Amino acid sequence: MTADPTLREPVIGLIGGSGLYDIDGLEEREWRRVDTPWGEPSDELLFGRLAGVRCVFLPRHGRGHRTPPSALNYRANIDALKRSGVTEIISLSAVGSLREDLAPGHFVIVDQFIDRTFAREKSFFGPGCVAHVSVAHPVCPRLGDALEAAARGLSLPVTRGGTYLVMEGPQFSTKAESLLYRSWGCSVIGMTNMPEAKLAREAELCYATVAMVTDFDCWHPDHDAVTVDQVVKVLFSNADNARSLVKAVIPALGVPRGPCPAGCDRALEYAVITAPEKRDPALVAKLDVVAGRVLNAA
């Protein structure tokens, strides 16, 4: 407990992408099933402490990598993390590079996304309770600062800022698509960070991604096509660096925190537009953990 009532003990949520199905070094570790009104999360969640700081880890594709990007239950994953007490989420994701200077092994702390996904549930809200949150700045700068400082402290090759193009997949891009995304100024490409980042914002959770480059996608003259074996080779060394990064950043994030300076934890303040008497009680009940702060306010 902290003496100052305006400060909260942070609980760090970690979403592990391809190649990251567990987190070592956790004390008091325990895998626990978490039920949600949105269905099943990708797997049980791993609870524990790193350097005394409470952490909750979720392997995005499940242990053994069972679920492809389009079939992930992003709503259940974010709800499960929030109902486990998580206050901020660090996503660790494999990506292809769309820039010559971002070679395999490079980490990019992205600050923007272009969402080209089309076959996913993208909101907790809907008929009976309509809300529109801002995702103009989808990444929490406070988390980005902490991740950048930790990565630089470890001398990891890291770039702060960049746009992550989120494609539907599961196939990798055509060369024409890859060239198009480069012409849009995108830095990296992957299949999972949307709607994850949008849902984290709806759930008023700070969110940041460490995009870990595994390949040059197919635009690069020296890399004709992406293959999983090529990706996997880099994935495991990236995963080792990601574990070191997590260990380095957690103590910095573990100090009692006030409100998010960027307002991530108040994203719903003016977002719900449906008149209280017109709201669907069943949907409002489902939204209890995600949006109870604003929906249940007197």
Ligand X SMILES: CSC[C@H]1O[C@H](OP(=O)(O)O)[C@H](O)[C@@H]1O
Ligand Y SMILES: Nc1ncnc2[nH]cnc12
Interface residue with ligand X, options 60, 99, 106, 286 (CB under 6 A): 60
Question: At closest approach, how far in Å is the CB of 288 from ligand Y?
Answer: 34
Site residues for ligand X, window 136-165 (CB under 6 A)? none
- SS3 of residue 56 by DSSP: strand
When CB distances are held under 5 to 8 angstroms depending on the partner's kind, the choice from ligand Y, ligand X, none that residue 192 binds is ligand X
Nearer residue to ligand Y within complex by CB, 35 or 240: 240
The long-range contacts involving 4-9, CB below 8 angstroms and separated by at least 24 positions, are 4/256, 6/258, 6/259, 7/256, 7/257, 7/258, 8/87, 8/256, 8/257, 8/258, 9/54, 9/256
Grouping H, G, I as helix, E, B as strand and the rest as coil, residue 228 is helix
Judged by beta carbon distances under 5 to 8 A according to partner kind, the member of ligand Y, ligand X, none in contact with residue 60 is ligand X
Q: How far is the CB of 69 from ligand X (least distance, A)?
A: 4
Q: How far is the CB of 166 from ligand Y (least distance, A)?
A: 9
Residue 10-49 contact track with ligand X, rule CB under 6 A, x = bound: -------xx-------------------------------
Where in 175-194 is the site for ligand X (CB under 6 A)? 190-192
CA angle 152, 81, 56 (to 5 degrees): 55
Please tell me whether 116 is known to bind a ligand: no
How many helices and strands (H and E) does the chain possess? Answer: 7, 11
Cβ atoms within 10 A of the Cβ of 170, count? 10
In sequence order, which residues have a C-beta less than 8 Å from that of residue 164 and are 6 or more positions away? 93, 95, 108, 110, 112, 113, 114, 186, 187, 188, 189, 190, 193, 209, 211
* For ligand Y, the closer CB: 47 or 172: 172
Residue 81 interacts with ligand X (CB under 6 A)? no
Q: How far is CA 211 from CA 90, 157, 158, 188, 291, in A?
A: 11, 12, 10, 8, 28
Q: Which does 217 bind (CB under 5 to 8 A by kind): ligand Y, ligand X, none?
A: ligand Y
Q: Judged by CB, which is closer to ligand Y: 69, or 144?
A: 69
215 annotated active-site: yes
Nearest approach, Cβ of 115 to ligand Y (angstroms)? 14
Residue with structure tokens 């995963």? 239
Catalytic residue among 43, 79, 111, 217: 217
Question: Strand pairing partners for 45?
Answer: 32
Told to judge if 217 belongs to the known catalytic residues of this protein, a careful annotator would answer: yes
Q: Which residue is nearest to ligand Y (CB)?
A: 96
93 lies in the binding site for ligand X (CB under 6 A) = yes
DSSP-assigned states of every residue in 133-186: ---SS-S-HHHHHHHHHHHHHTT--EEE--EEEE---SSPPPHHHHHHHHHTT-
Pick between residue 208 and residue 272 the one whose CB is nearest to ligand X.
208
Site for ligand X in 211-250 (CB under 6 A): 228, 231
Residue 96 binds what, of ligand X, ligand Y, none (CB under 5 to 8 Å, by partner type)?
ligand Y
If one asks whether residue 59 binds ligand X (CB under 6 A), the answer comes out as: no
Q: Which of these, 259, 276, 98, lies nearest to 172 by C-alpha position?
A: 98
Query: Which residues are designated catalytic?
Result: 215, 217
* Binding stretches for ligand X (CB under 6 A): 17-18, 60-61, 69, 93-94, 169, 190-192, 228, 231
